[in-house]
Amino acid sequence: MIFIILSFIYAIVVLSFCFGILFLKQGKNNNLNKFSIIIAARNEEKNLPQLLENLVDQNYPQDHYEIIVADDRSSDRTSLIVKEYIQKFPNLKLIRIKEETENLVGKKNALNNAIKKSEYEILAFTDADCLPTKNWLSEINKHFDDKTDFVTGYSPLISKEKKINLLKNLERSSHFAVVAGSLGLNWKITCSARNMAYRKSIYDKMNGFSGIGNLRSG
């Protein structure tokens, strides 16, 4: 009997998410916002060149965004690579993190330092091992009108092993379905931190990572 009840509840939740997807709003903003793209990187010399190439080559006016890389105590050529790309893209900034604090550790500490140095109100986030498409920033911009505070999107995983890639993206697709469905119903449950954007004023209003800054993950 308990199994039947739980199965029924589970089915209701799944159907709710499916129903919620129908209510997702299409981006209609035509105004060009200015963005601060934030990346926390630690020992990412292998991944940074391709990421920076993709970000510099965005289908978006270069004078409307900056890129901030927070080098989180790397022991490789992470900082040197960023410095090389500054020659190509003057709006690229490097922040070197030398230590963390008791209340802000790891990636959160790096992100917080980068956010403090950001110039623009809208903050866009991705990871050093990600490959944003050329339209990544323009797609975010479509959804960021004056009434919008937060935007997130799908983030497929790429692996050299096709079978692993298929399994990972199957799991990722189910996760994204939950994200999309819950947002359509105005339920804030989860999202992908490697593909999201929000206003700096919201970050400040929430007092940054206060309360979770000492957690290594999440």
Fold of 33-153+192-218: Spore Coat Polysaccharide Biosynthesis Protein SpsA; Chain A (3.90.550)
* CA 113 to each of CA 29, 123, 176, 207: distance values in angstroms, whole numbers, following the listed order: 30, 13, 29, 14
Give residue 186's region: left, alpha or beta (phi > 0; psi -120 to 50). left
Which pLDDT score is estimated for 184? Answer: 59
Q: How far apart are CA 95 and CA 114, in angstroms?
A: 7
Q: How far apart are CA 20 and CA 186, in angstroms?
A: 8
pLDDT tens-place string over residues 175-205: 666 666 566 556 666 666 788 999 999 999 9
pLDDT tens-place string over residues 24-46: 677 789 899 999 999 999 999 99
Look up residue 181 and give its two tokens: 């469905």
What is the pTM for the complete model shown? 0.83
For the chain, which residues make up each domain, given as ranges? 33-153+192-218, 156-190
DSSP-derived pairing of the beta strands 65-72 and 92-97: parallel
